[in-house]
Amino acid sequence: MSEATGTKTIRLAEPEGAATESIADLIRRMIVLLGEDPGREGLRRTPERFEKALRFLTSGYRQDPETILNGATFSVCYDEMVVVKDIELYSLCEHHLLPFFGRCHVAYIPSKKVIGLSKVARLVNMYARRLQIQERLTNQIAKAIEQKLNPEGVGVIIEARHLCMVMRGVEKQQSSAVTSAMLGAFRENKQTRDEFLALVRGKND
């Protein structure tokens, strides 16, 4: 088993008993503890379905940025801002294992190298498909691009709704969270930062 922190992958020991007990077994026990019958028709295959879904939703643990970005960088004489906006993302809050979802906007200013546009979305998906908090997710995306491209700057903004706020707790259905990571020119230059924000908002003035 591995857990990624930033762009590095750390090997972790498997919990005791993990080799013999599946996620489906644990869910079957949980259903009993909730007061339900895992043997009734509607729930009979739920543990296996849940395990399959959870493994898909956390598939980012079995990926790394080098594999995704390898062979997708190109030498180009271009030094203007590159923006990929409105990337849909779905993740799981590590505090409650409930989904959060929204949009991610990524920008960078190249320094001799650019990256295939679809790879930016794949990078977002990789980090989103882990147990996350939005703040860490935002930073991980920005730092991965910075380390791979060494650009003049990177900016990442995520706007998301969290079901742990919508379905439980304060139950505020219209609430959303916005996080940003600004590196290099995006942090140091207000004009660069303002241009990124205007492009994300759909304004060019």
Residue 96 is among the residues annotated as catalytic for this protein: yes
> Distance between CA 150 and CA 31 in Å, rounded?
49
Instruction: Please say if 94 is a catalytic residue.
Output: yes
Phi-psi region of 73 (alpha: psi -120 to 50; beta: other; left: phi over 0): beta
Phi, psi of 196 (to 5 degrees): -60, -50
Annotation marks residue 21 as catalytic: no
Q: Which of 3, 21, 66, 94 is catalytic?
A: 94
Annotated catalytic residue 105: no
Catalytic residue, candidates 48, 51, 96, 146: 96
From 63, 140, 162, 195, the catalytic residue: 162
Neighbours of 108 (CB within 10 A): 28
CA 108/CA 146 separation, integer angstroms? 9
User: Helix, strand, coil shares of the chain as percentages rounded to 5?
Assistant: 40, 30, 30
Catalytic-labelled residue, pool 66, 88, 95, 135: 95
From 63, 104, 132, 134, active-site residue = 134
Whether 51 is a known active-site residue: answer no
Residues serving a catalytic function are 93-96, 134, 162, 164
